Amino acid sequence: MSDQLQTAVEPAHTRQPTLSELAYVFLKLGTVAFGGPAAHIAMMADEFVRKRGWISETDFLDRLAAANLIPGPSSTELAIFIGREKRGWAGLVVAGCCFIIPAAVLVTLLAAIYVRFGSLPRVAGVFYAIKPAVIAIIVQALWGLARTATKTRFLAAVGIISVVLAAIGTAPVLVLAIAGVVSGAALWLRRERGKLAMIPFAGRVALLVGTAAAIVPISLSRLFLSFLKIGSVVFGSGYVLLAFLRTEFIDHLHWLTEKQLIDAVAVGQFTPGPVFTTATFIGYLVGGIRGAVVATVGIFLPGFLLVAVSGPLIPRIRRSPTAAAVLDGVVAGSLALMAVVAWQLGRAAIVDWLTAVIFLVSAIALLRFRLNSVWLIAGAALIGVLIRGN
Concatenating the DSSP letter of every residue in 333-364 gives: HHHHHHHHHHHHHHHHH--SHHHHHHHHHHHH
Residue 206 lies in a domain: yes
Task: Count the domains in the chain.
Answer: 1
Residue 97 lies in a domain: no
Residue 222 lies in a domain: yes
How many Cβ atoms are within 10 Å of 250's Cβ, its own excluded?
A: 16
Identify the pLDDT of residue 320.
Answer: 81
Name the stretches of the chain with pLDDT < 70: 1-15, 34-36, 38-39, 65, 68-69, 118-123, 192-216, 235-239, 311-312, 314-315, 317-318, 374, 388-390
Residue 152 lies in a domain: yes
Identify the pLDDT of residue 199.
Answer: 40
Identify the pLDDT of residue 122.
Answer: 66
Identify the pLDDT of residue 150.
Answer: 82
Residue 210 structural domain = 110-117+132-349
**Backbone torsions φ then ψ of 193, nearest 5 degrees:** -155, 170
Q: Are 317 and 69 in contact (CB under 8 A)?
A: yes
Identify the pLDDT of residue 328.
Answer: 80
Residue 68 lies in a domain: no
Residue 81 lies in a domain: no
Identify the pLDDT of residue 142.
Answer: 78
Q: What is the pTM of this model?
A: 0.67
Among candidate residues 99, 78, 91, 101, the one with its CA nearest the CA of residue 30: 99
Q: Are 334 and 176 in contact (CB under 8 A)?
A: yes
Identify the pLDDT of residue 27.
Answer: 94
Residue 147 lies in a domain: yes
Say how many CA atoms lie within 13 Å of 344 toward its Cβ: 26
Residue 54 lies in a domain: no
